[in-house]
Each structure stands twice: as C-alpha cells, then as structure tokens.
C-alpha cells in the first residue's frame, strides 16, 4: 500500500511540476555524544537515546488502527515520557515522538499528530508543578505533489502545529526527497525548511530518506543560510544495513548530524513473533512485506536470542534496538501499548560489545534476509 501510494505521488508530482512550470522556484560515552548535540542556535538541542514512532497511530491499512485504541495509546505516550525522564544517559532530553502530517489513512489523515496534541495538552494540564521536560515532537512534512513552493512547506508546518497544539515543534523534517523525480520541487523543500527554522516554527530541522550524497548537499545549503541541520532519518535495522546505511552513519558523524533509525525492528520481524513458524502478521500488507524475509530470519533470530541471554535476558527485539544504539543511531521503534514502550526502553539496559555487534551483523548477512527499502531513498 505504501509503495503504491509513493508511486502515485511521483506521478502526481510530475503533473504538478508541468502545471506550475515557471510559477516559483562503542559504548555509553560514544552513544551519549551522538545523541546530545549542541546546535548553532540560541539553545542546545538534545535528543534522547531512544524515541517512539507513531506511524501506527491512525493507520488502519498497515497497523489496524481503531479509535478504541486511543486510551491505550495515551498510556503508551505517558510511559514513553516517564521512561525517557528515567534514562540518565539522555541528560534530561524530552521524550522523542516521531510523527508525520501524512500519518493516518483516509478520513484519519493527520490522526497521529492530533493524538499527540491531545495527549500533550492533557499531560500539561495534569502537570501540577509545570517542571516536567517538554516532549520532543518531531514531525515530517510529506513531499506531496502540490507542495512545490517554499511557502507550501511553511503552511504545512503551521497546520501541523495546530494539530499538535504547540507554538513551535521540536523538529521539522522533510519526509522524503523529490530529487530523483522533481529537482525543482526539491529546491523548494530546502528553502521552505530553512524558512521554517528562520521563522521560529521549529527548534531544529532535519530530513528523512536522504542518502549520504544528498545529505551533504542539503547540509551545505542550510549551512550557507546559517541554519543547522540537526537530524537525518533513515530505514536502518539488522535487516536493512547495507553500504548506503554504513556510509550514512559515517557521514552523519562527520557532519555532526544525529542519525535517527526508523523501522529498527523491521515492522516487527526482529521481535521474533513472526519468523520461523511464528504468528501470522496481523494485516495483509505486513504479511506481504514479511513473505520473503520471514522464512530466512531463523539464524539471525537465534543469534539475537543468544546475545540477549549474554546480556541478562533481553528479548530479541531489545537486542535489535541495542544494536541500533551501539551503531550511534537513535532508534524510534513503534509502540501501540504501554507494555510495548516498556519493552522498547528495556533495550537501553544493554551495552553491546563490538564482538556482539559483529556476530549479529554476520548472522544477518548469512541469513540473506532483507526488507523492502523505501523507494524514495536517495544515494
């Protein structure tokens, strides 16, 4: 469903371009260093070691969302805030919630942002002393085909602020690049992102699905405007760790950009629930995504289990997240319940060794299991 959606976006974007032609142009110390980043702005921008992805909050097709889930999602929100506050290595950074203005399907478009806005408003009303750290809301602005001007990006951010019920978002990101099919739109996205920062609509700005080459280009452009690029978000897990991801890890470290790892559990495959005779994926879309990878995951899942035992009884999913942290990234696993949030944050109790990471990567490579890459990912 997502691939078809993106392909439709490509076609529509090309139509929009024609119609608008000429209209407008190793370890805890290292992990702490990679997740605490001093920005060139008036305030320090801090990112915790682990966040929570909210793609499922409003998505019926892939994640089976129903409004009856909202109460439990609210409990998941509070659990993430509490556990982030308890993680001393995050040095007081607010709980990271990653969302997007395209999260939610059909009539529920934008539902993820709406829920985060409601949960945040309730939390503030119940915070008697008002001393709790503000949540770090990170939204992604979709590269819709009609967003072909810099002003359209600013307007999109303003709409997100209304849904999130805040005056300024923690992190505004370009959801995916248009450079592969609409270079003129790409330039407008960059200009709009800079305008969002300069206009005080976001504490920091970032990108998503940008590879090393394109990341260097937008970093240089924003630096020329005096706008620091804070983050780059990419699909990264043990089942999605190829040459591009490895190079991106190095480039982000060189540029001082925090690398956020989305789908760190490979849509749940790395939890062990769906591989080698495990449970059937709960939706048809995820079953399709698992069809090729799941039968090959056995060796990797067994290695995850072995490393988990060495680490004092961590689950397979927790080890997979701990591996992401060990690679210097900030994983943002999804969660629909407070129990899942607790499981995710349990990964921060592990500090994987280089040999453990190498063994996991070797098992992943030898298994031959891979997950579908985002079709808009650039080099």
DSSP 8-state symbol, 259:
E
Per DSSP, what are the bridge partners of residue 208? 233
Interatomic CA distance for residues 129 and 369, integer angstroms: 50
Give me the catalytic one of 103, 210, 241, 274.
Answer: 103
Query: Which residues have CB under 8 Å from 278's CB, separation 6+?
Result: 272, 294
φ/ψ bin of 256: left (φ > 0), alpha (ψ from -120 to 50), beta (otherwise):
left
Per DSSP, what are the bridge partners of residue 99? 139
Judged by DSSP in three states, 243 sits in helix
Q: In sequence order, what E strands does the chain have? A: 36-37, 45-46, 52-53, 96-100, 136-141, 169-174, 202-208, 229-235, 258-262, 330-331
> Is the CB of residue 34 less than 8 Å from the CB of residue 253?
yes
- Report the b/e string of 336-358 with b at 16+ CB within 10 A: bebebbebbbbbbebebeeebbe
Catalytic residue flag (residue 103):
yes
Interatomic CA distance for residues 296 and 161, integer angstroms: 43
Interatomic CA distance for residues 250 and 252, integer angstroms: 6
Interatomic CA distance for residues 116 and 118, integer angstroms: 5
Active centre residues (catalytic): 103
């Amino acid at each position: 469903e997502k691939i078809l959606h993106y392909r439709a976006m490509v076609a529509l974007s090309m139509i929009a371009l024609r119609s608008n032609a000429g209209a407008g142009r190793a370890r805890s110390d290292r992990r702490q260093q990679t997740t605490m980043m001093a920005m060139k702005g008036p305030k320090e921008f801090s990112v915790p070691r682990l966040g929570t992805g909210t793609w499922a909050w409003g998505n019926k097709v892939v994640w089976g969302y129903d409004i009856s889930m909202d109460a439990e999602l609210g409990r998941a929100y509070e659990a993430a805030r509490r556990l982030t506050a308890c993680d001393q290595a995050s040095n007081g950074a607010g709980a990271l919630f990653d969302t997007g203005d395209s999260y939610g399907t059909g009539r529920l478009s934008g539902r993820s942002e709406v829920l985060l806005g409601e949960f945040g408003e309730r939390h503030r009303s119940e915070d008697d002393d008002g001393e709790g750290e503000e949540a770090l809301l990170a939204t992604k602005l979709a590269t819709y085909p009609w967003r072909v001007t810099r002003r359209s990006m600013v307007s999109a951010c303003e709409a997100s602020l209304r849904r999130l019920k805040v005056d300024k978002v923690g992190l505004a990101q370009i959801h995916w690049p248009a450079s592969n099919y609409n270079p003129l739109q790409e330039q407008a996205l960059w200009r709009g992102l800079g305008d969002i920062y300069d206009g005080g609509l976001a504490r920091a700005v970032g990108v998503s699905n940008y590879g090393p080459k394109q990341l260097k280009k937008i970093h240089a452009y924003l630096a020329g405007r005096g706008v620091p690029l804070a983050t780059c978000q990419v699909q990264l897990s043990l089942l999605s760790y190829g040459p591009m991801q490895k190079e991106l890890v190095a480039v982000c470290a060189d540029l001082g950009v925090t690398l956020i790892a989305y789908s760190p559990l490979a849509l749940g495959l790395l939890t062990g629930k769906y591989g080698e005779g495990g449970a059937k994926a709960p939706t048809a879309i995820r079953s399709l995504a698992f069809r090729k990878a799941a039968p090959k995951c056995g060796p990797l899942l067994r290695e995850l289990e072995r490393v988990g035992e060495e680490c004092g009884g961590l689950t397979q999913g927790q080890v997979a997240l701990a591996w992401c942290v060990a690679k210097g990234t900030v994983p943002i696993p999804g969660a629909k319940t407070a129990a899942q949030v607790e499981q995710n944050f349990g990964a921060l109790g592990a500090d994987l060794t280089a040999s453990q990471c190498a063994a996991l990567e070797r098992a992943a490579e030898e298994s031959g299991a891979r997950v579908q890459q985002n079709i808009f990912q650039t080099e």
